[in-house]
Homo-oligomer: A and B are copies of this chain.
Amino acid sequence: MRVAELSERLAITPDTVRFYTRIGFLRPRKNPDNGYKEYGAEDLQRLKFILSARGLGFSVDDVGQILREADQGKSPCHATRTLMATRLRESEQRFREMLALRNKMQAALTSWETVPDCPPSGHTICHLIEAFSEQEWSAEPGLDSSTEMDAMKDETEAMNKVTSKR
């Protein structure tokens, strides 16, 4: 099996196969006739595993750690659990940040609907951006009316529906 066949079987690009080969996750033998890399059944299994792990949110480094332990005959399960817990925490952190950013972006776009365009002057570059950011600074957090939170909630529900549909 060469890169093309292996990548087709798993519906990924040849570049992904080359990448995992380059970093040592796959160990094809080198065909001495033409220098091409020949992948075997074990590589197929490993690649399937790599894709599963990546799909679960593990980083490439995580996968490498798990693979190394497994290659040494040790059970990688403990590492798997620990790493997943860490990745989940990170994911929730980023999730929160994204939620906040998204709300800010929506607020900006909405507030800009009632503001006209204006050319850059000596003390502003883009009035839209500068005005919104200043307003943000002055708006004290803590006044968070439930209105905004309800809006976030509703939107997130709507997103969940969209997500489920796809």
Is there contact, CB below 8 Å, between B88 and A125? no
Is the C-beta of A78 less than 8 angstroms from some C-beta in chain B?
A: yes
Contact with B along A71-82 (1 / 0, CB 8 A): 001111110110
A117 is contacted by which of B75, B120, B153, B160 (Cβ under 8 Å)? B75
CA of A9 to CA of B78, assembled, Å: 46
CA of A149 to CA of B108, assembled, Å: 29
- Which residues on the B side are within 8 Å of A4 (C-beta)? none
Is there contact, CB below 8 Å, between A152 and B160? yes
CA of A45 to CA of B118, assembled, Å: 18
What's the minimum C-beta distance from A70 to chain B, rounded to whole angstroms? 4
Is there contact, CB below 8 Å, between B105 and A94? no
The answer to whether A126 and B56 touch (CB under 8 A), given A95-B159, A102-B95, is no
Is there contact, CB below 8 Å, between A99 and B130? no
The residue of chain B having its C-beta at the shortest distance from the C-beta of A55 within the complex is B133
- Which residues on the B side are within 8 Å of A84 (C-beta)? 105, 108-109, 112
CA of A94 to CA of B97, assembled, Å: 12
- Which residues on the B side are within 8 Å of A77 (C-beta)? 116-118, 126-128
Residue of A76, A116, A118, A127 contacting most chain B CB atoms (<10 Å): A76
What's the minimum C-beta distance from A69 to chain B, rounded to whole angstroms? 8
What's the minimum C-beta distance from A16 to chain B, rounded to whole angstroms? 17
11 A–B contacts, CB within 8 A, in A order: A49-B130, A56-B108, A75-B117, A80-B128, A87-B105, A94-B98, A96-B166, A99-B159, A153-B160, A156-B157, A156-B160
